[in-house]
Amino acid sequence: MKSPLRLAALSVAIKSAGPRVQLFPAGAFRARDGRPTDAPHWYIDAALAQVLIDEAAQRNTPYCFDYEHQTLHSKTNGKPNPAAGWFTTLEWVEGEGLFAIDVKWTDAARAMIEAEEYCFISPLFNYDAQGNVKRLINAALTNTPALDDMEALLAAASQQLTGDNTVDELLEQLRWMLNLPLSSTADDIKVELQKLIDRLSDNQGTAAASVNLLELLTQKDERIAALSAQTTDNPDPAKFVPVSVLTSVQQQLAALSQKVTGGEVNGLIQAALSDGRLLPDMQEWAETLGNKDIASLKAFLDKAPKVAALNAMQTGGKSPTDVLDKSGLDADALAVCSVFGHDPKDVAALSQEI
């Protein structure tokens, strides 16, 4: 649990009874009496100021300037608590600080300020353990820069602000849990919480009011841890092989497949060369086609005609002279007869008739 917000009052010199009044200086600062003693210093920047600016814009009632923080003392001292002025709008000026810019002073307060009967403004505010300004409560006209009666002031304030401090702390924790900016209002937080409730209802299939969020997160963590253990711890050797072994087997299978395919292609090509379905000049083309797509080579060879002249000697193994002596045809004529299947004697006889 974070430490509760602290209460402090700071004195800042007032320059005039105009509508613009500085409430905080920019950056780190301290009171004239050396406070704070429970934080390194007080601090406000543009981001912290924006929270105060947004809160002021959403208030239904203006902030009040009183005299000497009588708002906090009135319950104990019984004295009246007249207002010195009112304001509703805050503005941050980089390098200077936070200002109230629409102050409406009462006639009595304006007269005392102009007569220098009051010379200081004292904003009352909450801050956290690091000294960051978290909330503006009100402001007062004062002539006690060191606020010697700070203990009494804090005692009176604690009776009125304890509940508010708890609410502020709760809102701060909800902003952190929902990853919301510091300027998020209570309504913004409610919207995000409703989204979370709806999401839990969808996932659980039950009313979100019955869901223990911390228990749900614990269960999810346990499931994730169990799944991680299943995938990373003690894998079954019977179900897995090293990558190097798998790669080696794949290479061996590829080489064996290539060897078998190459042998089959070579056999097809040699048979086709011998029976005339392939010319010698076509051998290289046929090898390339077969190694790439043996089915296409087979389809081509199945349709290719056999050429007898390419698988036998044109002279039947005899010298051209011997053939010429019997038929009277030369070697070229004999080749033509072989291609078309004619008897050389018939061709010779026909030639003589012509």
Work out the percent of the chain whose per-residue pLDDT is above 70.
68
33 pLDDT higher than 50? yes
113 vs 349: CA distance, rounded Å: 149
Work out the percent of the chain whose per-residue pLDDT is above 90.
20
Q: Which residue has the tokens 């179900």?
A: 239
Please report which confidence band the pLDDT of residue 49 belongs to, taking 50, 70 and 90 as the band edges: very high
Q: Where are the alpha helices (DSSP H) in the chain?
A: 46-58, 70-77, 107-114, 150-177, 186-204, 213-232, 243-274, 283-292, 294-303, 320-327, 331-340, 344-353
Q: Are 118 and 143 in contact (CB under 8 A)?
A: yes
> What is the mean pLDDT of the segment spanning 129-135?
91
Phi, psi (deg, nearest 5) at residue 145: -55, -40
Q: Tokens at residue 119, please?
A: 């010379």
Please report which confidence band the pLDDT of residue 97 belongs to, taking 50, 70 and 90 as the band edges: very high
Please report which confidence band the pLDDT of residue 107 belongs to, taking 50, 70 and 90 as the band edges: very high
Residue type at 122? S
Phi, psi (deg, nearest 5) at residue 99: -125, 145
Please report which confidence band the pLDDT of residue 322 belongs to, taking 50, 70 and 90 as the band edges: low
153 pLDDT higher than 80? no
Q: What is the pLDDT of residue 160?
A: 42
CA nearest to 5, candidates 126, 149, 163: 126
CA nearest to 289, candidates 275, 268, 274: 268
- The pTM of this model reads 0.44
48 pLDDT higher than 60? yes
Torsion over CA of 13, 18, 23 and 24, rounded to 10 degrees?
Answer: -70
Torsion over CA: 31, 37, 41, 43 (sign):
negative
Please report which confidence band the pLDDT of residue 1 belongs to, taking 50, 70 and 90 as the band edges: very low
283 pLDDT higher than 80? yes
For helices 331-340 and 344-353, angle between their N-to-C axes, nearest 10 degrees = 120
